[in-house]
Amino acid sequence: MRQVTVTEHLLLHQKESPMATGRFTSMLNELILAAKIISREVNKAGLVDVLGLTGEVNVQGEAVRKLDDYANDILIYRMERAGVLCAIASEENADVIEIPENMPQGDYILIFDPLDGSSNIDANVNVGTIFSIYRRKSNCKCGATLADVLQKGADQVAAGYFLYGTSTMMVYSTGRGVHGFTMDPSVGEFLLSHPDIKTPGTGKIYSVNEAYWIYWDEATREAVSYFKSTDNSRGKPYSQRYIGSLVADFHRNLLYGGIFLYPADMQDPKKPRGKLRLMCEANPLAFLIEQAGGKATDGEIDILQIEPSELHQRVPLFIGSRNDVDKVMEIYRKHKK
């Protein structure tokens, strides 16, 4: 198949889209550069000791720190220089990061989880960077406000993730389908490998950490029981697959079909809305799954319709094949009555 780069794909397939502007393309290319640097470091994570790197200072003379801190710093450094952003928000930073005044500003807002699943790196488990892009709502040329950042997921102009695994992949959407690119390390380019991804209407996989069963409410227990029983639409149990790295679990279910569940649990009264974050995890993945024909809910409403109130607010997440997510919503509705 003729190689198609991300830039070529954007220009070819987004011709009529406002996303084919040079500014958006250059932002995406900066994001790709950051991901290539992160991928390089993630792929040698296990070698920090073997390569004789003391774990203190690496060959570039940079301090070798926790990879998620490193990924966060790389993304902020590169993206604040992209010249197209007015604000950045990261899972690793409590507050919105304003673009320094001495740097060119733009109208886009970038929200990301720099290295989701990073606790799995030492076991060589796939990890990923999740990103979400909005346009600012306020039209003043002053710095972006929190209201500019706290937009509902339906207002995203683009979203995607980089998956650092057996190969490094980029999956993204600008609202015209979901497209996957695989890094060809021999040329250092992401090449189109999964054009126009569509997820099956009904899956064969359910992904949830069942260790929390005792903390779930009755509706959640009934929903999970449905997928592991014989009285579901398949007439047999779904396969249970759970890597414990959101991007990896999401990516597998996107391609094969299935549902990922991270319900609210009462184990930690500080987190009655579960563990995953709306702005940098649920919203971007919900944007993608909707574009791929699937669905995402917090159990009651569409993730993309949730009006955010806090930058790091958490949300229960049921995401994947449309019919499977609909089933969860049907069960939740029944229990609400």
| Positions that interact with ligand P6P (CB under 6 A) | 116-117, 119, 209, 244-246, 275
Taking every pair of C-alpha atoms in the chain, what is the biggest distance, in angstroms? Answer: 62
The distance of closest approach from Cβ of residue 314 to ligand P6P in the complex, given in angstroms and rounded to an integer, is: 10
Query: By CB neighbour count within 10 A (0-12 exposed, 13-18 middle, 19+ buried), where does 331 fall?
Result: buried
Q: What is the smallest separation between the CB atom of 41 and ligand P6P, expressed in angstroms?
A: 18
Structure tokens at 79: 């993206």
Quote the CA–CA distance of 109 and 297 in Å, as a whole number.
Answer: 24
Q: Which is nearer to ligand P6P, 274 or 294 (CB)?
A: 274
Closer residue to ligand P6P, CB minimum distance, 90 or 245: 245
Between CA 272 and CA 270 the distance in angstroms is: 6
Enter the DSSP assignment of 277: B
Q: State the nearest-atom distance from the C-beta of 251 to ligand P6P, in Å.
A: 12
Cβ neighbourhood burial of 31 (10 Å; 0-12, 13-18, 19+): buried
User: Which CB sits closer to ligand P6P, 87 or 285?
Assistant: 285
d(CA 150, CA 308): 6
d(CA 163, CA 32): 12
Q: How far is the CB of 318 from ligand P6P (least distance, A)?
A: 13
Considering the complex, state which of residue 178 and residue 246 has its C-beta at the smaller distance from ligand P6P. 246
Q: How far is the CB of 116 from ligand P6P (least distance, A)?
A: 5
246 or 303, CB closer to ligand P6P?
246
171 close to 199: Cβ distance less than 8 angstroms: no
76 or 246: whose CB is closer to ligand P6P? Answer: 246
Minimum Å distance from CB 245 to ligand P6P? 5
Nearer to ligand P6P, 99 or 243 (CB): 243
The token pair that represents 131 in the structure block: 């990103």
As measured in angstroms, the least distance from the Cβ of 113 to ligand P6P is: 8
Cα–Cα distance measured from residue 164 to residue 36, given in angstroms and rounded to the nearest whole number:
10
Q: At what angle do helices 67-79 and 22-43 cross, to 10 degrees?
A: 160
By DSSP bridging, strand 239-240 and strand 205-207 are parallel
Cβ-based nearer residue to ligand P6P, 19 or 285: 285
* Least Å from the CB of residue 117 to ligand P6P: 4
CB of 263 to ligand P6P, least distance (A): 11
Residue 80 dihedral angles phi and psi, to the nearest 5° = -70, -15
Sign of torsion over alpha carbons 132, 133, 134, 140: positive
Cβ contact 329:211 at 8 Å: no
Q: Where are the alpha helices (DSSP H) in 3-66?
A: 6-13, 22-43
Smaller CB distance to ligand P6P: residue 163 or 170?
A: 163
